[in-house]
Amino acid sequence: MSLREESSTAHAPAKTVLRGAAISGSLRRASANTGLIRAGLQIDHVDISDLPLLNTDLEAAAGAFPLAVEAFRDKVRGADCFLFASPEYNYSISGPLKNALDWASRPPNRWGDRAAAILSASGGSGGDRSQYHIRHVGVALGIHFVIKPEVFTKAHQLPRKFDDDGNLVDPETREQVRKLLLALQAFALKLQGKSADSE
């Protein structure tokens, strides 16, 4: 699936270009969740590792944020849709992802009225509880989530789904990621009132 569709030719209508921003809730070098994002191809991974911990004292004045926060907020604002890939930590959202969600929610909220999909690679649960908490927070932010398919990946179960660098090597999971991204594309276009072939 490509969120950046091919450009038009003389014989084919232009395809709508969707700018997707993918955010991994894990900062680990060999993160399985970042591996899920890489498996999605052609969706930009927005790194959140240099965001400071949220502290509104860091806002110099209304709407003036630290540089890394400002850059992140700009990327969120510029995206048509979002893909969150996050581990479950203690039955909930990872701290880095919650921090990123909160920074871009500061007024003016940068998340609103866009489509999003969620992937998770976690321990025994596959990440279902964290996904439902992300959906819950998304209500406050005005994000509209793809409902199905749901993709819960047990990252450490044998046979191995990820190699030592966190690359996804399991074809079945790769197919699940592909289907979820297709659903995200369709939902994002629907929200924008466009079809995949609109000019």
Ligand X SMILES: Cc1cc2nc3c(=O)[nH]c(=O)nc-3n(C[C@H](O)[C@H](O)[C@H](O)COP(=O)(O)O)c2cc1C
Binding site for ligand X (CB under 6 A): 26, 28, 31-33, 87-91, 121-125, 155
Q: CA 36 → CA 14, 45, 148, 165, distances in Å?
A: 29, 11, 17, 12
42 versus 157: smaller Cβ distance to ligand X: 157
Minimum distance of ligand X from residue 195's CB (angstroms): 35
80 versus 88: smaller Cβ distance to ligand X: 88
Minimum distance of ligand X from residue 84's CB (angstroms): 12
Whether the Cβ atoms of residue 121 and residue 33 lie closer than 8 Å to each other: yes
H helical segments located in the chain: 32-39, 67-78, 95-105, 128-141, 171-191
Minimum distance of ligand X from residue 155's CB (angstroms): 4
Residue 154: enclosing H or E segment and its boundaries?
A: strand 151-154
18 versus 46: smaller Cβ distance to ligand X: 46
16 versus 86: smaller Cβ distance to ligand X: 86
Q: How far apart are CA 56 and CA 63, in angstroms?
A: 11
Pairing type for strands 115-122 and 151-154 reads parallel
Minimum distance of ligand X from residue 123's CB (angstroms): 3
